[in-house]
Amino acid sequence: EKCEFIKEVEVMKSVKKLGHNINIVNFLGCCTVNGPLYVIVEYCKKGNLRDYLLSFRTQPNRLSGWSEDAEIYMQGMEGEEAVHVKNMLSQKVLLSFSHQIARGMEFLSVNKTIHRDLAARNVLVTEDNILKIADFGLARNG
């Protein structure tokens, strides 16, 4: 376990040396003294992409994109109820998510780093809906 942790930290340090990429989580440090081992990365308020997308799926039609029907449906709504409907994930937002992940993976590829475990659970979402590829536990440098 400690050996795997050290490999992950080494990959994250090497990615950090390559320069900043908005779609790669920022490595801040690690904690290895007295107890469990921790990798410290930037805070991403909305958690991982898997849980974020599932939070929309549990409520009917929240992934269905913005339409005139939604405008009609919203008439007469106020406050929290209106905000809830406005927070649907549109196709434009979902396409942006795909593009952001592709940009992050391109950055890694150009710099000869293979992630090897890209999944929604390993992508973090910031408060501004910026996606950050994270979890470099299986990653390798070329």
Task: Give catalytic residue positions.
Answer: 117
Are residues 70 and 92 in contact, defined by beta-carbon separation less than 8 angstroms? no
How far apart, in whole angstroms, are the C-alpha atoms of residue 58 and residue 90? 16
Which residue from 22, 15, 12 is spatially nearest to 44, judged by alpha carbons? 22
How far apart, in whole angstroms, are the C-alpha atoms of residue 84 and residue 86? 6
Are residues 124 and 22 in contact, defined by beta-carbon separation less than 8 angstroms? no
